[in-house]
Structure formats: C-alpha cells, structure tokens
Structure 1
Amino acid sequence: MANGERELWIQCVDWLMSTGLLDSSASSRLSKPADLASMLRDGVLLCELVLRLQPGCIDRQNIFMVNRMSPFMWSKNISLFLDACQKYFGLNEVSFDGQDTTIYDLSLEDFGRVLRILSLLSHTSQALRLNLRPFPDHTPNTNGACREVENQIYCNLRDQVEEMASSADETQQYDFIGNYPSTADEKKREEIYDCILTQRVPKTKVESAKYAEFKPTNERGFCIKEILDTESNYCDALNMIIETFYNKLKHKLSTDNHNTIFMNIKNIYLTHQKFLQKLTPAALNALGIDDPSCIDGKENLHMAGVFVQFKMDFVAYAPYCSLLKSAVGKIDELERTDSDLRQYLNELSKSAKFGLHKQSQFKLQDLLVVPMQRILKYQLLLQQLAKATSDVSEQQQLSDAIEAMADVSYYINEVKRDHEAIEVISHVQRSVIMQDGVSSRFDEHGRLLQDGLVKISDYEETTRRPKQRYIFLFEKLMMVCKQKGNTSLYDFRKAHLLSEYELVENEPEITSKTSTLSRKLTSGFFDNTNLTLVRKGFKGDSASSANLQLIFKSLQQREAWKKELKKAIEINCPSKAIAKGHNLLYKTYSHAVSCSICRKLLAGKFYQGYHCSGCDKDMHFDCCHVQNCSRKPIPASRTKTNSISSIIQPFRPGDLVVSRQSINSTDSSRLSCNSGDVIEVIDWSMDGTIVGRLTDLPGRTGKIAVDFVVRFSGTMRKSTSERGRMSTGSIENNVDRPVSLVSMAIINSSEGISDITQQPWYFSELGREQANQLLESTESGTFIVRHSVQQQQFVISLRYDGKAKHMKIEYDNITQNYYLHDGRLFTNILDLINFYRSNSLSEAFNNLDTTLRATLLRTNLYKVLFDYEGNDPVKYLTLRRGDIVTVLDTVGENKGWWKGKISRNSTELSGFFPISYVESMNPEHVESYTFNSNGEREPQHLLVPSVSHDSKDDESTL
C-alpha cells in the first residue's frame, strides 16, 4: 500500500519509530488508534519528541512525569510542546488559540489535530536533517477535516483510552520510550557508582594488618568485606566532593547557588565518618578478626546493630534526595549561561579522578547522585548478607537492620514524592485566581489527588442546574474553579471541606423534588455517571437540599473520582480509628517521627500521619485503628448507640481563646494580634491552626496556630473587663441576649449549671406539652433546653421529622460530667449543647441524624450595645449604640453574624452585623423561622406560654 493511502495514525507510528523515540516493543503495543492516543495523552512523549529533534528546546525539569489521571499536568506538558513547536520549529501556521491544550480531551477533532501537528513536525528542517521520511509525502492541511474513513476509526476514542487508563500499570508507562533519559541515566549512574565504590581498592585502608591479609572464603565473608570496603570508598568519595568542589566553588558561586547545589552533603559526610568508625570493628568482629587496635572497647555492636543505631541519622538523606533534581538543574543552568564557570568545572572534574583508569573523570552532576545511590543500596547489601548467614540470632538482627534501612528508603522516596507533589500544587496555586484577596497556601489542603472537568450541581446555589467546572480534589478539600476563557488560568469559585461530607453511592430516593418522570429521563446517563456528596447530618428527603451532585463524562471517570473521594473522606475521618476512641489530628511533622504502633517512620514531607490527643500517640493511617485509645477510661453507664464518635477538636467554632504572644505577620491570611487579645474561633483546621476573629475588631480575621492561644476562662474576666463587648456588664446582665454558635462562648465566661440561664434556648422549668407547643411548626433541628420538674433533670426538646423529641441530659455524680451517651462527657451543659450544634445527635440516639441547628429567638427586635462599622458598607450594617435592629434572617449564625435592617434618617439600611453587639428587646415573644412554598424563609412569632410548676406530664427519654 502506498504511503499516501495508509491511515494517517499508522504513518505517524512508523515515523515515531524511525526517530528512535520508541523502542522495538512499541510497535506490537500500538495496534489501534487508542493505543497511540493513550501514549500521547499526557504530553510526555510529545516533549521528548521535540527534544530528540531539537535538543535543549525544552527544559526537561519542567516536564511533569504524570503517574495519574491529571488533565492539569497533561495540559502543562502539552503547552511546553506547543510552545516549542512555535518557537523552534516555525510552526506559526498552526492555530495556537489556547484550545490546543485540550488535546488530552481526545475528541475526534483534537486527535486529528495531534496527527496533523506531528505530520508538520516530520516536514521541518530539523527532522529532515536526521534523514527521517516525513508523513504523508505532502505537507498536510492543518485545518482540514479528517477523511470519512478516519471518522469511523477515531469514534469512541475517549471511552477506549479511559478504559485502558483504568487498568494501566503506572510503573511501565514510559518504558516504551527508547533510551528514555531516566533509563539511560540510571545505567550511566550505576557504572559511575561501581567505578567509584566497587571496582577500586580503598584509598583509606582499614587500620588492621590482619584485615589487609584477609581473603574471604565464603559468601558471607565476601558480603561483609564488600560492605566495609565500599563504605570506606564512599567516605573517600564524599571527602573528594567536599575538597575538590564544595570548598573551591564557595568563592565562585553565590551563597544561594552554593547551597542549592551542595545542600547538606557536608553533614552527610560527617555522619558517615562516625558510621564507618562504628562499622569497622563490628565488621572485623563478624569476620573473626580479633584486632585490639580496631575494636571499640566501649561497645561490641553487631554489624546489623550499627545500621539500626544510625537509622535516624540517615533520614538526613531525605532533603538531599528530594532537592537533587534542583541541584543538577542549577549546575546545568550555570554551565549554559557562564562559559568561564563551565570551563572551571571541567578543570575540577579532571583533577578529581576515580576508578582503575587514569582517564576516568566524572562531572559534578554525576557525583552528586552517588549519595542517593549509596543510601538506597544498604538494604540490598544487608539482604545479601542475610542470605549468606545461617545463625538464627544473627539472622534476626539482620532482619531488624534490613527493616530499618527499608524504612529509611521508603521515607526518602516519600519525601521526594511529596516534594514533587508540592511543586505541582504550587503550579496549581499560580494558575488559580482567588477572590477578594483571599490568600492561603494550597499545600495546607493536603496532597492533590485528582483534577479535571466535572459538571457540578451545588445545593447552595439558587439554581441547581449542573455547571461545568474544573475541580481540584485535595486531601482536605474540594476546590471548584471555572476555566478563564481559553487560557490555562482558573477563577476560584468555591471550596468544600471534605470532612463535612459523606459519599453516597446508592441512587437517590424519589421524592417530591425528583419526580418519577424526571428520574426516568435521566436514569440512562445521570445515575450511571454521577456521584453525590451529602453534608453530614442530612439524610432522606432533607439530603437533597444539602448535597453536591458530580456528573462525569464516563463511567471510568466516575470510578476514578469515587476512589479518590472515598480516600480523601476516610483520611479526614478515619472511621476505624475513631471507633477505637482516638481523637485524631491529621498533621504535618517538622521533623522525622516514628509511629507509636509499628515503630516505622511517618513518611513524607507534609501530613505524614495522625496525633491522638487522648493517648498522645503518633500513628500512620494504617496503624491508628490497631489499638484502642489508652486515655482515661469512661465510667460505665448505659449506652444508647453503637455509632462512631466524632473527632474531638481542640477548639470549636464559637470558642473564645486568648493570644499568648504578639504576632505581626505580613501574610494577609494570618491573624496579627497583640498578647492578651481575645479571639473568637470561626473554624478549626486539622493542620494545627484555627481561623479566628478579634473580638475588638470583628473585621480582622485570619489563621493562627493553636500553640499561640489558650482557652478563655472566667479567671480572665478582669483582664478583659474593659474590652467593649467583653465587659463584665455585657456578660452578666444580658439575660435575653441573642446567642449563636459563635457568641455562646462569650456568655460562657464561667463554668457550671448557672451558665445556661444566660442562654436564649434555656426556658427554665417548662413541661413537655408546653415544649411541644413551642416547637410546633418550626423547622427541623430547632431546639430548646428546659428543666423537668417531675424528673428534676435537664431536657433537650427538639423538632425533628415533624415531631417533638425529648432527650434527658444525664449527669454522672462520680465524674461530675454531663452526657447524652456515656461515650462523650462534658464538664457543663453549655459545652454539650455547643458540641451538638455542629455534630450529629446520631452519636447518642439511633435514627436521629441531625444537629441542634436552630434556636428560638425571643424577639426579632434587638438593641445595639456597641458601635460597629464594617469594611464593606454594602454588605455589612453600620451600628450605633442605641439603634434598634430588626432581624431579617439568621443566615450566617454559625459564623457569628445575622442579617438585619435599621431605619436611620428616614432611610432603611440592611446588611450583616455581629450578633454579640446586640441584646433582645422583648422577652415575651419567641422568633423562629419556617419556609414557604417558594423555599423562602419566613419569620413566625410564637408566644411563650405561662409556666406551671405543677406540670405532671411524662418526661420519658427519646
């Protein structure tokens, strides 16, 4: 068949083979268009192709070696490829309109476009200079349509590629590239390692006449000798690098460049000097060479024991190995831009000779790789020694050493992997345009697990119509963005904390909001390719008003996202560990820490594991469910449920804390404050920080580390008595003061039962039937707390599922704690109520999956106590002391804000205001809210009934 008659994709494969880019095994693996499309999809092969045709046209360090489905990284690689085509190959006639970066999407037109761009490359002077036959013989039309026969060939390409990707082996994804840099470099580096450490006689010989004469006669002897000799050679190599390069380049390079290139190699050298001093007598002892001059009289360690002893010292290799790529890249950059330095480095390389041949010389880039090779070799060397060892006790010691070195290797690899992950996250952060000057480090959200275009329907938006958005799924949150035109930038839209959601895999129930007809119309596509995230505490019919619907293009894409979403949700709330009673904090450790359970290192550079505040243990994700929490045991009593307890936070929204020191940060996302400032908690993060608001300046918010604050208590009242809203008078006298989740703690400045009398949800002595009347027609989750005269006990009365529920608050006389179930104790009722404002009651009662969502307000008229002026007059309501505010809506209550209106100078103003700046006007009425048929919130006035102290109604617990 003539070249022009063959299908274009087959001609493309032949041309790629002729470039030498693909090895011989590739032809058998490229049997259909989907195989080629899958190979080209992430852009790595495209970048390697232009580098093969024009060396240096792309900085290889900028290529993302993608090991997962990530359109974001694919598009970055493809952008590199397209830029090189335009800049170095003169392909200006190709339409680079920004849409080309969606090549990874692999629609019919896109794949045809890829083939035509590659065809144009085959006709460039760079390709022809390599005597490569172009395809097809004529120059292709870049904007022409595919032939009809190819239309049939490329149909359903996306489904085929995604199905292949779901079962692909990530470890083999680049092995089809002939002489791929990583493979070629690895071979070259192994040769250098052997030349420097294995094939030569140690320059620094072991000071033992007996060892100099020693000739091993068995495999074990050979192994021990190899370990000792190569360690001696390694120390020589490190010394050479320091003497020849490190010291001499100190005055040639800037401090920053010098630190970038050599990192912590000097500390590593000092560590191995000590290591060799310990290893030498242990090795001689293992060989049966009794030489007093080499034996350390203080210690008599086995060789394996030396490795175990230095395990924590060897973690210093983690930063070295993770920064090695940057070090080599910096040397390459300096050699390209500074010819004098390049010549000087060549001279230094010539003076640093290794190996058996005088001609042997290595570049600094190659020598810096040797330390990484050495630390990763220890495990293999010890495994060889273990195989040659027959003594059982010695084998156990070697097993411990092998495990220690394997742990170090894994730790190093994970730190290196996390370093690369943080680089990717920084690329994402530079590509996302945040709103209203919001500033935060994206790596605080954990590792990036998944990204891509997804249709999303958000329950908080006015219209529930699905919208196409670009979603970045991190371990801790899901960031929703919108692509900015045809650029590689994204406008931030919203973020959802994954700890607040549950993944629902079953089909939604048919309700009044989802008719049978609409379900039938959408079942073919919607149900098979969607996922539902429901806010915790919402189930059944109410779930539809608090969920996120994610709609995917294919079943394969849905399965990939489901896997990562389940992983992220479990990371935030490890169910098995919580069932064991642990109070976990998913945290970043600044130094190497070992797991309290398995004793292995918590690997990685950030969010390496969990800390339990109950038993004070640090644990891996896979280890935190192995043991029960060993905190103080809970007193035995009746338990009402088998539900899993929630993670206890150090501070909850609404808590008051006091700054322990003055902080003046230039980072706008951080909270600047003075020592002694009172801060109310808005949110708590598992990274060890809280988002707080200054009580004196509510407009000033930001992050602050929990280590810098202490909980506000009654003993602090004097020191804060002159702080406006925090004055003693405002705390003690405002009995009817409206309280939200945020402002509750302001009133709770002392502990004990008397605190709840200050709360608007406490209705003193009230009977069951009267509570039923109060709660009738209120929204689900509305509650009050009352005192039952008959039972002489505090009771929570709650509206749920159209009925009033009544729950006794139990009291333990021994521990003097309050509880709804004995797995969760509280020192006072206020703390108990605060906890269940944000945590489901299903923990204590079966079939009661709701929080204490709303309180009954005694009036919608409030008097302003303090002046307040927001930073946005359109959004916030300006308050003047003595003003009368009419509450319009309690939206924002969980953040400490209500929406209200004020009439001033014949003008009606509306906006948000801080709840704690006002007090109620009329205690004779209760204000609650219901929803009308249009879904709008409507106030409803409820008269407080007269209280009969002789009420005898039944107070049986729910």
Structure 2
Amino acid sequence: MDLAKPIPLLNDFLCCKNIKLFLDVCRNHFKVRESDLFDPNMLYDLTNFHLKDLIPMKTFTKTYTPQYFDHISQNGSLSVEDENSDITNENGTENTEDYIEDTVSVLSETIDDEKPPVQNIGSVPSTTTTTTKTTTTNKITGKVSNAPPLGLSTRSASSSGMGNLDFNSSHDCSNQQLQKVAATVYNYQQIDADDLGHEYLNAIYSEEDEKVYEDLCYVTFSSHKVSEVTNDNVACNGHVDEHINTKEEEVYQDLCALQRTSRSQITSATSFEQRDYVIRELIDTESNYLDVLNALKTKFMAPLERYLNPEELRQIFPRIKELADIHTKFLDKLRDSLQSHAKVKMSQVFLEFREPFLIYGEYCSCLLGAIDYLADICKKNQIIDQLVQVCEREYNVGKLQLRDILSVPMQRILKYHLLLDKLVKETSPMHEDYRSLERAKEAMIDVSQYINEVKRDSDHLVIIQKVKDSIIDLHLPQNGNDLLQYGRLLLDGELHIKAHEDQKTKLRYAFVFDKILILVKPLNAKAGDMQYRFRDSHNLNEYRVEQSHSRRTLGRDTRFKYQLLLARKSGKTAFTLYLKSEPERDKWRKALTEAMENLDPPGCRNTDHKMEIFTFDAPTTCRHCSKFLKGRIHQGYRCKVCEIAVHKGCISSTGRCKQTTVSIPPPVCDRKLAEFNWFVGNMDRETAQIRLERRRVGTYLLRVRPQGASNPNETMYALSLKTDENVIKHMKINRDYHGDNVTYCLSTRRGFKSIVDLVSYYERNDLGENFAGLNQSLQWPFREIYGTAIFDFEPQGTNQLQLKAGCQVLIIGKDGDDRGWWRGKVGDVVGYFPKEYVQMQPPTSDEL
C-alpha cells in the first residue's frame, strides 16, 4: 500500500498526510461521524493536547499486540510525548483536547463492534520462533502485518518486550492508548510489514532478514572467532549495528547445497592460518550467494515466465539476471586470485568490480516495490500464488518465502567491506597485498554508501512528486515546474511571512528545496486536505538569512513569535518569517543556511572554478578523491568551464580551472615525454599503485594527475616509484618561476630546466636529498622494452653506453631518435647508443 508513509522523517507534509490517512480510515472504514473527528493539524501541532483524562476504552476487550513506534524518536521526528512536556495555553488557539478524546472514545467503541474481531492478529513471537512465524496475519485482510500505527513520530518500530496488550487495563500514559488504537486501524489498512521494513540501508533489513541471509549464504565453523564478522548487521557508512542474530542450523542444512567441512576437520588435514579462514569464508559465502542468485533465476523466474510477461518479471526480479552474471565472473576471478602464480590479487578483483556493483543501487531502490508487487499479484491471481508456493517448497522445503529470498542480494553487498576489514586485520602489514586490501575495503565502503544514497534519493523522488501533485496550480517562472531540478526537499512546514513593503502578515505553508523556497496556501479553509494553491517562490541564491531580534507579537495569533529575516543580496526586498518556537526558528535557519551554502560553497573561494550544484545522470567519481558522487539528486558539483566533477568538501582542493576536461598536452618543453618508457600519460594514484605493486623495487613511472595541479606551484605531473616490497612512493613535481624562466623540482634543494632532466638526474642519484631516508634511485622504467645488441660499440663520451654483441639492453627512451641515438641501460650503467646497433624485442610487460 503506497498511501501510508511509515518513515516521514522530519517532513511535516508526510506526517500530516499520515494523520489524514488515519482519519480517513476512521471515517470510511469505521463510519465515525465527522463531528467526532479532530483536525489533522490539532494532533500534529499537539496544541493543548494533554490527554489527562482519556476515557477508558472499556468496550475494547480484545487483546492484540501491534508493533508501534517508540515514543522518543531517534531522529527527532514528532512524538506524542516529546511535545507534551511543556505545553502552555496561548491566546487565539483552539482547544483540541475534547476533539481528540471524543474521536478515540468513539473509535474504541467502533472497533469493538467490528466483525471479525482483531484478537487473531496475534502476539509477539518468542525469540525461538522460526522465521516463518515472526509476522502476524490480519484475518480481515489476509495479509502479513507487523506495522506500527502511523509512522508519524519515529524511524523504527519496537517489537520486543511488549507482551499482550489489554485495553481494559490502566496504563501510565494515556497517550499510549491513542497509539494502540491507531495501531489497530493501521492493521486494518492492509499494510505489509515491508511497507515499513527498510529505513534506507543503514537499517534496511530486519533481524529476520539477517537470519535468512545467513541461512542461505554462510558457512558454519566451530570457531566463533572466524565467523564473528558474519554476525554483524552492516550499515552503509561503515558502522555496525550491535545486535547479534542467532543462526538456525536446521534451515542452514536444508538450504546449503555444498558440502561443508568443520574447522576441526580442516585443521587436522592441513595447516591454516587465521587469514586463510577469512579467505575461505569469503569464497564459500560468495559461492553460496551465487547459488541463491541462480536459484532465483532457475527455480523462480523460469517457472513464472509462463504466466508473467517480461515487464512483470522485471518488477519482481529487478536486475537478478545481471547480478547473477556479475557474481559468476566475480567468483571466478576471486578463485583465480588464490592460485600460486595468480596475475591478479584478490584486492584487485574487488577494485575491478567496484563499478559493476553499483547496479545494487537500482536493485535496493526497487526491492520494496518488488515485494509489494509480488504480494499484490499473488493476491489477485491464485494460480501464481500457488506456483510461488510450489517453488518455495522445492527450493527450501517452504521454510523461506520468495519475498525473504529477494532481500538477500541487498544484504550481501553490505557484507563485503566487513569481510575485507577482517581480512586486513588478519594480514601482516608487510604482506604484498596489505595496502591494496585496505584500498579494496575503502572501495567497498564507498560502494555501500553510494547504494545507500541512491536508495535514499529514490525514496526522496517519490516525496518530491507527491509535493508537486499537492500544488494544483504550481507555476515556477524561472525554469519550469519540474521540482526535481530544484534538488532535495530540506524542510517544510507552516509559518507566517511578511514582506517589508507590505505590512500584512500572511499564513503560508513553505517548502525549502536546495535551490528554491516555495510558498503555498491550503486550497480549502478546512485544514488537512493536503491540497495547496501556489502563491510565490524565491530563488535562494538571491537571498541571505539573518536572525531578527524577536519581539513578542501583539497580533491575534501569538504562536508565531520567533523571527528570521530573509533578505535579498541586492538589498531591494526582505521578508520576515515568523515561527512558533525557538527550536523551530533554529531548524528553519539551519535549513535555509544549508541550502544557500549548497548553492555557494565556501570552498569556491579557494579556487577559480565556476562550480554549480549538479545532478549527474551516470555514476561519476570525484576528480579530487576518486570516490563516487553519491545519490540521484545533486550528487556533487560541476565546473561550468572545465566540467570537472567533485564533492562539496573537495572543491577547495581542485586547483586552478582549465578550459576543457580533455587530456591536456604536456608543456612545450616536455612534448617528447611520450618517447620515454617511463611516461604513462593520464593515470590516477590508485591505478599507479596497483600497476607498480607487481613490479620490482626501483620501478618508476611519470604520470599526468587527472585532477591537475592544486596550486600554482605544482605541475600536473607526479613520479611514482616502488621503493620497497610493500611501499609505493608518489611525488608531485613542482615548479618555480624566476622571471621568464621555469625550473622543475621535487623540493627546493635542486631545480632542473625540464622534467626530462629531472628524471635523468634521479636515474643516476638517489632521492634522499628530497625525502629523508629515501635512498633509492629511479632504476627501472615502467615499460620495459628490451633489445639485443647486434654489434659491438665502444663509447666515445661519458654519456654513451658500451655494447657487446648479444648483450641485452633495456631501452629507456628514444629521445635522440631524430639523430640516430637511443638511451638504454646495461647492468647499472645508463647511456646513449646508436639505435642501429640494437634489434628491438617484443615488450615483456605492460604497454599503455
């Protein structure tokens, strides 16, 4: 059901829509008279709402256990008890206590008369109940429901420790009675548990879902230490929820097709290090996960293809085939990386699949819709419903429903960075893959955060569309009426506004987006219809916000007495906003300030880039930090001139603006860099790190940094040198200006007329004068091209290289090609030789 919004966050608009939905149910389903209903804003504002003497609902004798929201919201959303603590009577406000009390009393009597009764909803299951019994069934609708009442006051549901609730008993807080009544109404509304189940990805799946994932994917070892990673519920920002889920061994044995070996058996057969166990866990769980994806394809999708068209299958199984293909290749490469002479390390496999894994953003965004669509189509079509049940029985003896299995991919993608974190901890810092594993872990955290933000923004796009639909005559003259172009909805609510050229104060409902402030007025005099007429809009980049000195308002409505000043930067006009409380004023000031800073980031003052907040259509990485720009709305910033893309926090490090994003040719003095085997062109730091890890100590390359220079004293070039088995040193090349002359250097200790001269010098001398303790020279150019001497050559100068027929020559560069000379290395001696004296051999390593 898409009417109720279980996660309204701090959104007044959605909260009031949920309250209105509650009243509509009272009116249409329970036939409560209009005169017995209260106004939505009365409950939301909680004005004089202090239910000290709520009429006991003695007629409501049936017991049930709804799962309703905690009274104190973690995110600060509206809670009944939050506002009751400090309520004062104010002039000009309507007393709502009688309205609410009457509605609850009438509703309680009405519920008691409903047939069939709701005692069959069930009670809270014990912790030993299997996963198929943890939800309750509404006998009226026949649908699973463990929903909280309205979702108007918190983010998460509380379902433990409640016991059976009896409305004959007295309760300490009468506000709880109101929420219990609302819970009953909510159950009547045919709302599946999964309508509320996923609060983005940092709390996106329940403990039950976690059990499903572990039953399907995890290998059970006798050592708890080995599997400690698997018991964590992962958040996309890298944090871990602290609850631990129990595994059901019986379900695991039924679902895991592969033979598992206990740890004691493994230990007796071979000598394993702790690191080996983590790697085995990673490979085996990946294999099990691939089995799940293939089962979704062959055991569910294939039978359903006879009854459902491709579009219907796509809605129920979004991108499952693509995920199966991706993970088939992923598992093959993981296994290849474990071979004794593997060309690619495990860390590189994760880095390679960093971008393909972004498909999970779409999958997680579609998951709730897929589960809802599956439930709906099974309800309407008995044949499909029975077929799905048959498939479930064939796959796992009916212990898990298809809807449960569909959540496994979402959970798996959140496990990778935990497994890599465990692998890093069990890997010695001296291990050849240690640093790359750290980068792989960071890459998987980045992927998880990207998926999280895509899911969040997908939900947000729905909210924005509902806001647009609620304004019947929206007219935004600047750039059209598509609200998506104005970014995220930061805040909305009721306020009073007064233009300084007009002394009349007007009551308006306001929506604050990233780029615009929209003011509307309720369509009808009766509040709660959630339909508005457009009144005005203001581009926030034209304004600044200031805190006005508050004076107690002498007007009729003294609720709005805390002021903010919204003034045009041009000084032509200004508005005063009146809010109900000091916290409300602070909230509006924060939202407006955030919007204005998004449009004009402080980091722009440190660069000449012309940055604008921008929505990117395809996954894009930040030019500075190489991490993904996350989400679907205003993911980051793009320069209007050179079109580089960056995070807001990276703007100040982007350096000087270039006129184009295409590869910039080297300076004139270095036009011939491509002739050298150590020059690789455009390459970021991460790629250079990976390429050099497989090479011998002393191998070096010169690269063009994609992000360019970050200050006028830097060049776009950097040297990368392997200085030890596990260390890659990256060195920016700087420049100094002396009148019209430019010198290039690694430090102020020594300058060179060209970059070629700089590289040539440090091929013969170590880098210790620039970096303390770095007693390493540039020994082996990245592209190793060898030749065989076909004639003897005796050098005539100190810069020439002696050749003996048949000797191997490492060709360093062809910078003297136009004069018939190449530069090479034999042993530890570097020099020039006649190019006709050497016959080229095919390259033996990476060619770029």
Shift in CA distance, 184/89, structure 1 to aligned 2, threshold 3 Å: farther
- Paired with 2:271 and 2:374, the residues of 1 have a C-alpha distance of 42
3-state SS in 2 of match to 1:277: helix
1:376 corresponds, among 402, 408, 414, to 414
Query: Contact 1:202–1:229 (CA<8 Å) still a contact in 2?
Result: no
3-state SS in 2 of match to 1:479: strand
Shift in CA distance, 351/107, structure 1 to aligned 2, threshold 3 Å: same
2:562 corresponding residue in structure 1: 529
3-state SS in 2 of match to 1:586: strand
Deviation at 1:336, TM superposition (A): 1.8
Query: Contact 1:382–1:398 (CA<8 Å) still a contact in 2?
Result: yes
TM-score of the aligned structures, taking structure 2 as reference length: 0.54
- Paired with 1:177 and 1:551, the residues of 2 have a C-alpha distance of 43
Residue pairs, 1:166-565, within 5 angstroms: 182=197, 186-198=206-218, 199=252, 203=257, 217-282=272-337, 284-285=338-339, 290=340, 300-353=343-396, 359-393=397-431, 394-434=433-473, 440-459=481-500, 463-485=502-524, 486=526, 487-505=529-547, 507=549, 529-538=562-571, 545-565=572-592
Shift in CA distance, 520/131, structure 1 to aligned 2, threshold 3 Å: closer
Shift in CA distance, 178/228, structure 1 to aligned 2, threshold 3 Å: farther
2:631 corresponding residue in structure 1: 604
Q: Name which of structure 1's ranges 110-119 and 417-426 shifts more when overlaid on structure 2.
A: 110-119
Shift in CA distance, 535/579, structure 1 to aligned 2, threshold 3 Å: farther
Give, as a single letter, the amino acid of the residue that structure 2 aligns with 1:303. Answer: M
2:622 corresponds, among 582, 592, 595, to 595
C-alpha distance after superposition, 1:190-211 (max 9, x if no partner): 12111111145964789xxx99
C-alpha distance after superposition, 1:502-526 (max 9, x if no partner): 1123559xxxxxxxxx99979x989
- Percent of aligned positions that are identical: 29
TM-score of the aligned structures, taking structure 1 as reference length: 0.48
3-state SS in 1 of match to 2:651: coil
3-state SS in 2 of match to 1:362: coil
3-state SS in 2 of match to 1:491: strand
Query: Contact 1:235–1:272 (CA<8 Å) still a contact in 2?
Result: yes
Give, as a single letter, the amino acid of the residue that structure 1 aligns with 2:540. Answer: L
Give, as a single letter, the amino acid of the residue that structure 2 aligns with 1:386. Answer: V
C-alpha distance after superposition, 1:622-676 (max 9, x if no partner): 211233334379xxxxxxxxxxxxxxxxxxxxxxxxxxxxxxxxxxxxxxxxxxx
Deviation at 1:432, TM superposition (A): 0.6
2:15 corresponds, among 74, 84, 98, to 74
1:86 paired to 2:10: no
- Paired with 2:424 and 2:327, the residues of 1 have a C-alpha distance of 23
- Paired with 1:177 and 1:373, the residues of 2 have a C-alpha distance of 26
- Paired with 1:177 and 1:466, the residues of 2 have a C-alpha distance of 50
3-state SS in 1 of match to 2:96: helix
- Paired with 1:193 and 1:264, the residues of 2 have a C-alpha distance of 19
Deviation at 1:381, TM superposition (A): 1.3
Shift in CA distance, 457/196, structure 1 to aligned 2, threshold 3 Å: same
Query: Contact 1:507–1:527 (CA<8 Å) still a contact in 2?
Result: no
Give, as a single letter, the amino acid of the residue that structure 1 aligns with 2:628. Answer: L
Shift in CA distance, 69/225, structure 1 to aligned 2, threshold 3 Å: same
Query: Contact 1:614–1:629 (CA<8 Å) still a contact in 2?
Result: no
Deviation at 1:117, TM superposition (A): 3.0
Query: Contact 2:476–2:537 (CA<8 Å) still a contact in 1?
Result: no
Deviation at 1:82, TM superposition (A): 1.6
C-alpha distance after superposition, 1:535-554 (max 9, x if no partner): 1122xxxxxx5112111111
Residue pairs, 1:803-842, within 5 angstroms: none
1:135 corresponding residue in structure 2: none
- Paired with 1:187 and 1:126, the residues of 2 have a C-alpha distance of 36
Deviation at 1:268, TM superposition (A): 1.1
- Paired with 1:273 and 1:420, the residues of 2 have a C-alpha distance of 30
Give, as a single letter, the amino acid of the residue that structure 1 aligns with 2:435. Answer: Q
C-alpha distance after superposition, 1:66-95 (max 9, x if no partner): 454322111111122122223333333654
- Paired with 1:309 and 1:195, the residues of 2 have a C-alpha distance of 28
- Paired with 2:11 and 2:312, the residues of 1 have a C-alpha distance of 32
- Paired with 1:79 and 1:318, the residues of 2 have a C-alpha distance of 32
Higher relative contact order (CA 8 A, sep 6+): 2
Shift in CA distance, 300/113, structure 1 to aligned 2, threshold 3 Å: farther
Query: Contact 1:503–1:532 (CA<8 Å) still a contact in 2?
Result: yes
C-alpha distance after superposition, 1:40-80 (max 9, x if no partner): xxxxxxxxxxxxxxxxxxx3x43323454322111111122
Shift in CA distance, 218/465, structure 1 to aligned 2, threshold 3 Å: same
Query: Contact 1:448–1:474 (CA<8 Å) still a contact in 2?
Result: yes
3-state SS in 2 of match to 1:257: helix
- Paired with 1:578 and 1:190, the residues of 2 have a C-alpha distance of 47
Shift in CA distance, 190/521, structure 1 to aligned 2, threshold 3 Å: closer
C-alpha distance after superposition, 1:422-457 (max 9, x if no partner): 111111111111257986221221100111111011
3-state SS in 2 of match to 1:533: strand
Shift in CA distance, 535/577, structure 1 to aligned 2, threshold 3 Å: same
Query: Contact 2:216–2:288 (CA<8 Å) still a contact in 1?
Result: yes
Shift in CA distance, 215/474, structure 1 to aligned 2, threshold 3 Å: farther
Shift in CA distance, 474/520, structure 1 to aligned 2, threshold 3 Å: closer
1:103 corresponding residue in structure 2: 43
3-state SS in 1 of match to 2:648: coil
Give, as a single letter, the amino acid of the residue that structure 2 aligns with 1:409. Answer: S
2:142 corresponding residue in structure 1: none
Query: Contact 1:204–1:232 (CA<8 Å) still a contact in 2?
Result: no
Give, as a single letter, the amino acid of the residue that structure 1 aligns with 2:386. Answer: Q
Give, as a single letter, the amino acid of the residue that structure 1 aligns with 2:281. Answer: E
Give, as a single letter, the amino acid of the residue that structure 2 aligns with 1:399. Answer: E
Unaligned runs of at least 5 residues, structure 1:
1-58, 133-164, 354-358, 509-517, 539-544, 634-813, 815-958
- Paired with 1:411 and 1:437, the residues of 2 have a C-alpha distance of 31
1:125 corresponding residue in structure 2: 112
Give, as a single letter, the amino acid of the residue that structure 1 aligns with 2:577. Answer: L
3-state SS in 1 of match to 2:530: coil
CA RMSD across the alignment: 3.5
Give, as a single letter, the amino acid of the residue that structure 2 aligns with 1:328. Answer: I
Deviation at 1:171, TM superposition (A): 6.3
Deviation at 1:345, TM superposition (A): 1.2
3-state SS in 1 of match to 2:357: helix
Deviation at 1:177, TM superposition (A): 9.5
Give, as a single letter, the amino acid of the residue that structure 1 aligns with 2:31. Answer: G
3-state SS in 1 of match to 2:521: strand
C-alpha distance after superposition, 1:797-831 (max 9, x if no partner): xxxxxxxxxxxxxxxxx9xxxxxxxxxxxxxxxxx
- Paired with 2:300 and 2:353, the residues of 1 have a C-alpha distance of 27
- Paired with 1:390 and 1:212, the residues of 2 have a C-alpha distance of 21
Shift in CA distance, 324/572, structure 1 to aligned 2, threshold 3 Å: same
Shift in CA distance, 265/520, structure 1 to aligned 2, threshold 3 Å: closer
Give, as a single letter, the amino acid of the residue that structure 1 aligns with 2:510. Answer: I
- Paired with 1:379 and 1:204, the residues of 2 have a C-alpha distance of 25
